[in-house]
Amino acid sequence: MATRSLAAPRAGIWPWLGLALVILILDQFTKTLILGSYKLGDATYITSFFNIVRAHNTGAAFSFLADAAGWQRWFFTAVGVAAAIFIVWMLKSHPGQKLFSFAMAAILGGAIGNVIDRLMHGYVVDFLDFHLAGRHFPAFNVADSAITIGAICLILDELRRVRKAR
C-alpha cells in the first residue's frame, strides 16, 4: 500500500509561468500606453523626483552599446531568447523553490517583454524617469523593474542557501 507524503505537494512550473505572463502583459500594456500617448522625448512631471517620459533604448541596461551600428538589436534579442529558454529549464528543474522560482519568473517576464520590443520596434521603450538634484537615473520600464527585482531575489535566495549550509 502506497503512503502519501505529509509534505506539501511539489508546485509545478505553471504558477511561475503564469507570473511571468502577468509581468509580460503589464509590461507590454504600459509600453503601449506610452507609445500611444507620448512622442519620443515627451515628459510629464509627476513629482519632484519622478517623471513619465518616452525614451527609446537600442542598447542594454543603462544604454550599454546603444550607439553601436545596429547589430546589438539582434545580439540582445538572441541573449534574451537564450535566457528565456534557460530560465524555463531552471523552472522545470526547481519549481518547488519558491524564492528562486519567483526570481526566475520575474526575470523571464521582463526578458521576454524587452525581446518583444526589440523585435517589434528595434528598441526598448522606457518611460520611468527618476531624478534627484538635476541628475537623472537612466529611464526604465516594467520589464527592467521585474528583471532587477528578480536579480535581487536570486541574490537573497543564494544568501539564504549559504546560511542554511553553515
* DSSP conformational letter for 8: P
Residues recorded for the chain: 166
CA distances from 22 to 50, 92, 110, 113, 143 (A): 25, 19, 10, 11, 11
How many Å is the maximal CA-CA distance in the chain?
71
CA distances from 107 to 58, 102, 131 (A): 19, 9, 25
* DSSP conformational letter for 140: B
Q: Which residues contact 143 (CB under 8 A, 6 or more apart)?
A: 23, 24, 27, 109, 110, 111, 113, 114, 117, 124
Active-site residue numbers? Answer: 126, 144
CA atoms within 13 A on the CB side of 24: 17
